Amino acid sequence: MKLWRHHFVIGAFAVCIVALSVRVIALSVGERDFLQQQGDARSIRSESISAIRGSIYDRNGEPLAVSTPVYAVWTDPSRGSLTDAEIRLVAEELEFSVDWVRNKLAKDANKQFVYLKRGITWVQSQRIKALGIKSLSLGQEFRRYYPIAEAAAHVVGITDIDERGIEGVELAFQKHLVGRPGAKTVLKDRRGNTIRDLEYLQAAQNGKDLYLSIDARLQFIAYRELKSAVQSHKAKSASLIMADVVSGEILALVNQPSYNPNGTGRSAFEMRNRAVTDAFEPGSTVKPFTALAALQTGRYDPQTEIDTAPGFFRVGGKLIQDPVNRATLSLAQALQKSSQVALAKIALDLETDAVFNVLSATGVGDYVGTGLPGEAIGRLSAAELRYPVVQATLAYGYGLSVTPLQLSQAYLVLARGGSKVPLSILRREQPPAAEQIFSVQNAQSVVAMMELVTAREGTAFTAAIPDYRVAGKTGTARVVGEGGYDDERHLAWFAGMAPATDPQIVMVVMVNEASAGLSGGGSVAAPIFSRVAQRSLRLLGISPDAHSTAAPPAEMAGNSGVKIEVGG
C-alpha cells in the first residue's frame, strides 16, 4: 500500500514537471514577444536628462545668475501610505507641520506622483535618504541663485521653480539661456527605484551663457547710493541708469524699492523695473534739447540774449514765470538758471515743431530696444503743437513723458557730439555704427552750456565732482494727481555726463516724491549723481580733466552777443 502511494506521488510530480515544461516552452515560443513587451512596460522607463540653464555674467565675467543643484522629495501615494511615525519624521526634516504633510498625502491619495518639497539642499536630501522610508523618492533638479541679490534684481530678473524666466533678462533671453533636455531608458524595480541605465537616447544640451553690459561694481555702488537716498528723503521710488558713452552699453541700472530674487514674498511694487516701464514728465531736463533746437537754426549761439523781464508772460490762458525777474539772460545763462520764461520764448520763436523734432530724433517717444520686458515708449505727440501753449510748455518738459531709459538715450546723443547709437543691456565686443543726427559743434556747445549748471551759480552745483568737469541738467516736475498738477508732490531729476571735456559716462537719476523736506532735482537727484559718478570714474580708470568745476568756462560766462527780443 505504501509502495503504491510512493509511485503515485512520483508520477504526479513527473506529470506536473512535464506540464510546466510544456507550458514554459509554449510561452517562450508562442508568446515570447507579448511577455517581453509586458515585462518591459512594467520595468523599463524613459527618463529626461536635465539640461543646465545658461549662466548670466556681468561684463567682466562676474556671475549674476547661476544654476545650482538641488533635490526634490516626492512620493507615490497609490503604492502605500506613510505611517504616523514616518509622517512625523518627514515633517520634521522638511520643516512642515505634521498636519500639513498628513493632509497633503490624504488629498492626493489617488495620485501616482506627489511633490512634498522641491529645492532642498544636498545635506537635507541625505537626511531624508537616511530615514529609510521606501515610499519616498529623491530627484535632482536645479535652482537659480543670484550672487549680488537685490542689487541687480531688476536687470537680471528671476525664474520660476522650473527655471523658466519670468522677469528681466531671464525672461527676455529665455530661448538663449534655456537648454534642451536629453533622454535615456532605465530599468526600475517594482518600487520605482532605478536599477541601471540601459541606453542613452539623446544627450542634453546645456543653455548658452549670457554676458551683460552691466558692471557689477558700478551696479552695487549705484544701488547702495540710491537706496540710501530714498531712505533719507523718504521717497516713494527712484531709478538710476549709467551708460558708456563710447559703446552705448548700460553699465548700471537700479531701482528702489528692490527685492531679493533668492527669497520669497516679493510684491509687484518691488519687482517693477521703473527705469524701463514707468514714464514721467521730465521737467527741465528737456531744456538742453530746446537750446539745441535753437542752435540748429543758426540764429542763436550761447551768447544770444533773451529778455525775460518782468519774470513772467502769458501764453493764452497759461502764465509762464520764473521764481524771480532775471531780466536779460544769455542762452547759456538761461540754461544755467533754468529759466522757464527764456526757454519758452525761444521755443515760440522757432518753427512750430523744432523742439519736437529734436526730441524725436534722439529717441524720445520711441522704443529704445534693449529687449527688457515691459519697455515703455512714453508720450511725445505733435498733434497739438499748433497751440502756442503746447509749444511753449514742451520747451521746459511738460506735455510729454519719458522713461529714465529714454532720457539716458537722449543724453547719450549729446555726450557723443550729436551722434546716436542704441543703448544695450548686452556686452558689445565693439561699438556699433553711429548715426550723426546733429551738428558736432552744436551738441558740444550744449554740453559746454550744461557745465554752467553744475557751477557754483548753477542749479546743480551739488552734482560737481572734485577734479572732474561735469555737465548736466536738473529737473523738478510736479506729479499729476486727481485734480491736476499737485504742488506738494514732485519728481526730482538730474541727467548728466562726465568728464565734460570728453564724456565717458552718462547718468540719469530720478527720485519720485521725496517727502522729507527737499524735493528739487538739484537738492535730491544731483547729489546722488555726484557720489555715484565720483567712485565710478575712478573705478573705470578715467583720468580727471579739471582741478575744479566751480568756475564756468570763460567763453560762456559773459553777456556779449546780440540782444534778441523773441516770443512776444
The dihedral formed by the CA atoms of 332, 336, 337 and 343, expressed in degrees to the nearest 10? 50
Round to whole Å and give the CA distance between 461 and 533: 14
Helix (H, G, I), strand (E, B) or coil at 179: coil
What share of residues in the chain are helix, strand, coil (percent, to 5)? 40, 25, 35
**Cell output for 255:** 531701482
CB 241 within 8 A of CB 408: yes
Round to whole Å and give the CA distance between 531 and 524: 12
Q: Among this protein's residues, is 28 annotated catalytic? A: no
Which parts of 76-128 are beta strand (E)?
114-120
Q: Which residue has the cell 520605482?
A: 192
Cα–Cα nearest to 404, from 527, 314, 277, 305 = 277
* DSSP type of residue 311: S
Cα–Cα nearest to 244, from 16, 389, 397, 428 = 428
Q: Which of 50, 213, 284, 530 is catalytic?
A: 284
Other CB atoms within 10 Å distance of the CB of residue 61: 10
**Cell output for 22:** 510544456
Q: Which residue has the cell 510530480?
A: 13
Which parts of 81-167 are beta strand (E)?
114-120, 136-145
Packing angle of the helix pair 84-94, 122-130 (nearest 10 deg): 170
CB 362 within 8 A of CB 415: no
* DSSP type of residue 402: B
Beta bridge partners of 420: 435
Strands 318-321 and 114-120: unpaired
Q: Which residue has the cell 549723481?
A: 529
Q: How many residues does the chain have?
A: 568
**Cell output for 450:** 550744461
* DSSP type of residue 207: P
Strands 194-202 and 182-188: antiparallel
Exposure of 229 by Cβ count < 10 A (0-12 exposed, 13-18 middle, 19+ buried)? buried
The residues carrying an active-site annotation are 284
